[in-house]
Amino acid sequence: MKPYGYLLLAAGLFTLTACQSASKPDANATAQDAVSDTCGASQYQSYVGKPLSSLSSQRFAAPVRAIPWNSAVTMDFNLRRLNFLADKSGNISKVYCG
């Protein structure tokens, strides 16, 4: 094999190693989510997929904001407030604090 062949082979190996993805999950990301769940949104993830109108009969310990699709909301950030975000069809797509 010629010297430029070895050079191309080495360049190919370096290219393949650069494309390799990390297989180890980030432990810090899961710890940060537990800290940021101050309103208890993880308890209400079962509401995802249900109609936004199903919240009207429920009682919550934290302040709650039901956000219909494409509606305007204030940008104030309250970590104790529970937010239910609806999609176009009126079903809850996301439950989060803020």
For the entire predicted model, the pTM comes to 0.64
Residue 21 has pLDDT above 80, yes or no: no
42-85 per-position pLDDT tens digit: 999 999 999 999 998 889 888 999 999 999 999 888 999 999 99
Query: Under CATH, what is the fold of the domain 40-98?
Result: Trypsin Inhibitor V; Chain A (3.30.10)
Lowest-pLDDT range of 29-33, 34-38, 72-76, 93-97: 29-33
* Number of residues in the chain: 98
Residue 1 has pLDDT above 80, yes or no: no
Tokens (6 digits) for 75: 């940008």
Q: How confident is the model at residue 34 (pLDDT cuts 50, 70, 90)?
A: low
8 A C-beta contact, residue 72 and residue 30: no
Residue 31 has what pLDDT? 47
